[in-house]
């Protein structure tokens, strides 16, 4: 089965072709980061308009790269939510109308399920069950994954998501959008000079809380005005240390409590080199494994949607042919969880 995947939930248009027998055949991505950078964040209306411009050429590029035609496609998977409604509508209407014209089924994919399964696109993926750390701009969750669609929430953020904390702290330090990559780059030249709290590090649950960290950074920046480059780098260094230490500690606790020995990490913050370094060391010490998506599949992309769609197609034996145009901007992950 050849599945076309379409992602348009935020500021990246992603299209990919996944073959259930031969794996990922092609993927094409356009990031709107430069366009939104001058506004310091995503402008929803500009995002939707740009998705309209990109989705068809990207599909043509992916088909060409895979040496396939539209007629070869067996099903179309697309991100139905959560995300920006106008942006989601572009991918949804494109996918549904193309599927209608080809009379093939569609699969509505939850964006986070795409992220969650992305590490399985790589070589030697771990077997189910495993623990998943999902750390994106909107989510910080630990889950037990027993199979496709078999998810149990182990821990969640009580306030800001990890990526959100990176973005907000980057803003406080006067760095550009998106904040995560900029902050981690600056942290490379920082030194251990400040001490920030490690929120909920020793709590008895697997929850996270990052908004207090941002407030502590605000206090630090106020105390050191005007901020020189060295101070900014030292704050970035310590902030990254604090977030990655909490994430690593909770991942190890989740492995211990579930008795599982495989961890997967996904979502934009999963691209963070310091987090990977700490998780590699910690899991090795406990004879556990850790898997990540390749860097380009940590952030939004079409490959993870094509893959999740293919897995869903297999699990539900079909997809559907309703060809409706509804999006779910606030689609709650809880709807995918085991009751
Ligand atoms: O998964 P993603 O592309 O979008 C959502 O679904 O939210 O994640 C984007 C988030 C942003 O908050 C961004 O700052 C963060 O991931 N991010 C990073 C890094 N690369 C992206 N955070 C820390 N270090 C990075 N290298
Ligand atoms: Zn995402």
pLDDT digits (tens, 9 = 90+) for 133-173: 999 998 899 999 999 989 999 999 999 999 999 999 999 99
CA 266 / ligand 1 centre spacing (Å): 10
The set of protein residues with a Cβ atom below 6 angstroms from ligand 1 is 115, 136-138, 163, 166-167, 178-181, 184, 267-269, 271-272, 299-300
Beta-bridge partners for 291: 264
Check pLDDT > 90 for residue 335: no
Torsions phi, psi of 174, nearest 5?
A: 75, 25
Averaged confidence pLDDT in the chain = 96
* Ligand 1 pocket test, candidate residues 163, 173, 240, most atoms within 8 A of CB: 163
* Cα–Cα distances in angstroms (integers) from residue 178 to residues 209, 232, 235, 238, in the given order: 21, 17, 18, 19
* Ligand 1 pocket test, candidate residues 115, 237, 269, most atoms within 8 A of CB: 269
- The pLDDT tens digits for 245-287 are 999 999 999 999 999 999 999 999 999 999 999 999 999 999 9
Provide the pLDDT for residue 319: 87
CA 135 / ligand 1 centre spacing (Å): 8
Q: How far apart are CA 68 and CA 72, in angstroms?
A: 6
- The pLDDT tens digits for 76-106 are 999 999 999 999 999 999 999 999 999 999 9
Check pLDDT > 70 for residue 339: no
* Ligand 1 pocket test, candidate residues 42, 136, 177, most atoms within 8 A of CB: 136
Specify the residue with its C-alpha closest to ligand 1, atom 10.
137
CA 180 / ligand 1 centre spacing (Å): 6
- The pLDDT tens digits for 162-209 are 999 999 999 999 998 889 999 999 999 999 999 999 999 999 999 999
Closest ligand 1 atom number to CA of residue 12: 3
Intrachain domains 2-116+297-336 and 128-292 with the same fold: yes
Closest CA to 7 of 49, 47, 43, 55: 55
SS3 of 306, please? helix
Supply the CATH classification number for the domain 128-292: 3.30.420.40
Provide the pLDDT for residue 337: 80
Instruction: Indicate the domain borders of the chain.
Output: 2-116+297-336, 128-292
Close Cβ partners of 258 (under 8 Å, ≥ 6 residues apart): 129, 131, 144, 154
Tell how strand 150-155 and strand 140-147 pair up.
Answer: antiparallel
Question: What's the whole-model pTM score?
Answer: 0.94
Provide the pLDDT for residue 163: 95
Give 2-116+297-336's CATH code, choosing from 3.40.50.150, 3.40.50.261, 3.40.50.920, 3.30.420.40. 3.30.420.40
Closest ligand 1 atom number to CA of residue 115: 1
Q: How far apart are CA 20 and CA 181, in angstroms?
A: 33
- The pLDDT tens digits for 235-246 are 999 999 999 999
CB 59 within 8 A of CB 306: no
């Amino acid at each position: 089965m050849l599945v076309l995947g379409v992602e348009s939930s935020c500021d990246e248009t992603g299209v990919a072709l996944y073959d259930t027998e031969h794996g990922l055949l092609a993927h094409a991505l356009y990031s709107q980061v430069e366009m939104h950078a001058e506004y310091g964040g995503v402008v929803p209306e500009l995002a939707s308009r740009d998705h309209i411009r990109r989705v068809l050429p990207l599909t043509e590029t992916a088909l060409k790269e895979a040496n396939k035609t539209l007629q070869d496609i067996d099903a179309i998977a697309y991100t139905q939510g959560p995300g920006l409604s106008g942006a989601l509508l572009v991918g949804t209407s494109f996918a549904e109308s193309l599927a209608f014209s080809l009379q093939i089924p569609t699969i509505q994919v939850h964006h986070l399920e795409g992220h969650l399964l992305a590490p399985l696109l790589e070589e030697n993926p771990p077997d189910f069950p495993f623990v998943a750390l999902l750390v994106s701009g909107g989510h910080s969750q630990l889950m037990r994954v027993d199979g496709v669609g078999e998810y149990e929430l182990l821990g969640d953020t009580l306030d800001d998501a990890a990526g959100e904390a990176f973005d907000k702290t980057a803003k406080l330090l006067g760095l550009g959008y998106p904040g995560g990559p900029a902050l981690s780059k600056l942290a490379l030249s920082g030194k251990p000079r400040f001490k920030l709290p490690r929120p909920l590090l020793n709590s008895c649950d697997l929850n996270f809380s990052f908004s207090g960290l941002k407030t502590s950074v605000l206090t630090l920046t106020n105390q050191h005005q005007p901020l020189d480059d060295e101070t900014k780098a030292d704050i970035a260094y310590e902030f990254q240390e604090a977030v990655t230490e909490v994430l690593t500690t909770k991942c190890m606790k989740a492995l211990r409590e579930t008795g599982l020995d495989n961890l997967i990490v996904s979502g934009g913050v999963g691209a963070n080199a310091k987090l990977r370094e700490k998780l590699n060391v910690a899991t090795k010490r406990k004879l556990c494994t850790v898997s990540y998506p390749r860097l380009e599949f940590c952030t939004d992309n079409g490959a993870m949607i094509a893959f999740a769609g293919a897995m869903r197609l297999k699990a539900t034996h079909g997809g559907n042919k309703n060809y409706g145009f509804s999006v779910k901007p606030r689609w709650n992950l809880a709807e995918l969880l085991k009751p």
